[in-house]
Amino acid sequence: MNDLGDKRPQGLGDTRGHPLHTRMLEIELRQGPPGRLDIRASILDLRKQGFIPAGSDLQTSGVIHDMEIRASIDSASRVIEKFEPHQAVVAFEASAATAGESCRDIAGALRGLVGRTLDENFARALSEIFGGPRGCSHLLTTAQFIGSSIPHALAWEAELVGSGEGKRQVGERLFKRSLFLDGLEIEVGRTLDIAVQSNDIHTLPADQVVNPTDRFLRQHEVQLLTRIDLESMGFASLWGQERQRESGHLVADGWLDRTPELVALEGKPALRGLAAEVLALFGGSFPASPLRDALLFIAPGLIQCLAANAQRLLESATGSDSEAPLPSQVGGMPDSCYLWRSDGPGHGQGGLWD
């Protein structure tokens, strides 16, 4: 292997590099009124250095995206009764540079998921109404992880607590998934490290709790560290481990080394094509495993880290028009979302980068 492989100790304590970006995604499942379960999913992007031009302004370090989806499902059928997006911070507000358009314009299309079922067909339905230029890539990512996390949580609930009404108090949290991705620049313009940590927690019904620690029923953790070759946009190396702990067994060890399986991704694309490679390697079973979800979290998070690359392009330009960065080098990929659709303000004549 390499310096990220079999010589690594447990944990990510020896991760090095200059911090570029952190992406956080949280998903909570709570008991709603009788017959209903409530979901809150939020995504936050925190850029830690630099700036890039965005429309008539500069997008600086700090919070870049702060978005949320609040949803409700029928607890028996899993039919979606509410799917409501909120966008506190977006990349582009309506302005002259965007021809009056905004990232918020398309968010309401997610309400079209009401009446659909949170099952193995959800991902296809989501893509049909909100994929690519029909939606926002960040809300899309959030919704995709609702589709994989909640069925996983419901399987745990059936196993650990049982099904049926009256087992939970209204407003009580059953399950929480937290996903973190950190990008660290290793060699300017050439390599960066992506660290991913996933933490799933399931809890005992509140009316059975005597001491606060009684709430703990199950935890599943995943830790990944990957090195990205920025020239090929592929994986130079991967390391990973995961463990599951149950109530009464909070021991410090129990980690399972997943590196021998992950090395199959070395040399494979870290952006386009990653999902197909992960599904081929770990299968397409429903619901997804926490490890598979953690791997699928890499590509959308890596895109956010690449803003640092955009800054490097700006730094290398001398000021002549011929050497100025192209929109495709600094902005979003064509048709990656509504604002970056091929005929939209992101790429059209007189748009964000003219």
Does 33 sit behind a cis peptide bond, omega within 30 degrees of 0 on the bond before it? no
Distances (CA, A) of 269 to 73, 233, 235, 277, 290: 36, 6, 6, 8, 21
Q: Domain for residue 346, yes or no?
A: no
Q: Domain for residue 9, yes or no?
A: no
Task: Report the pLDDT averaged over residues 24-35.
Answer: 97
Most confident listed range (11-20, 89-98, 174-183, 311-320): 174-183
Amino acid symbol at 88: A
Q: What is the 3-state secondary structure (H, E, C) of 132-147?
A: HHHCCHHHHHHHHHHH
The pTM of the whole model exceeds 0.75: yes
Task: Report the pLDDT averaged over residues 1-27.
Answer: 66
Q: Domain for residue 254, yes or no?
A: yes
User: In this predicted model, what pLDDT tens digit does every residue of 129-182 receive, in sequence order?
Assistant: 998 777 888 999 999 999 999 999 999 999 999 987 788 999 999 999 999 999
Task: Report the pLDDT averaged over residues 181-187.
Answer: 93
pLDDT at 1 exceeding the cut of 50: no
Q: Domain for residue 337, yes or no?
A: no
- Ramachandran area for residue 243 (φ above 0: left; ψ -120 to 50: alpha; else beta): beta
* pLDDT at site 333: 64
To the nearest whole percent, how much of the chain has pLDDT over 70? 84
Task: Report the pLDDT averaged over residues 288-313.
Answer: 88
**197 within 8 A of 221, measured Cβ to Cβ:** yes
Q: What's the rounded Cα separation, in Å, for the pair 162 and 149?
A: 18
Q: What's the rounded Cα separation, in Å, for the pair 101 and 326?
A: 22
Q: Domain for residue 131, yes or no?
A: yes
Helices (H), the chain: 122-130, 137-160, 259-262, 274-282, 290-296, 298-305, 307-316, 327-330
Q: What's the rounded Cα separation, in Å, for the pair 313 and 228?
A: 18
Q: Domain for residue 170, yes or no?
A: yes
pLDDT at 5 exceeding the cut of 60: no
How many domains does the structure of the chain reveal? Answer: 1
Q: Domain for residue 341, yes or no?
A: no
* pLDDT at site 338: 62
Q: Domain for residue 140, yes or no?
A: yes
User: In this predicted model, what pLDDT tens digit does every residue of 312-347 receive, in sequence order?
Assistant: 666 766 555 545 444 444 455 666 676 667 777 765
Mean pLDDT over each residue of the chain, to the nearest integer? 85
Q: What's the rounded Cα separation, in Å, for the pair 101 and 337?
A: 13
Domain that holds residue 153: 18-316+325-330
Q: How confident is residue 15, by pLDDT bands cut at 50, 70 and 90?
A: low
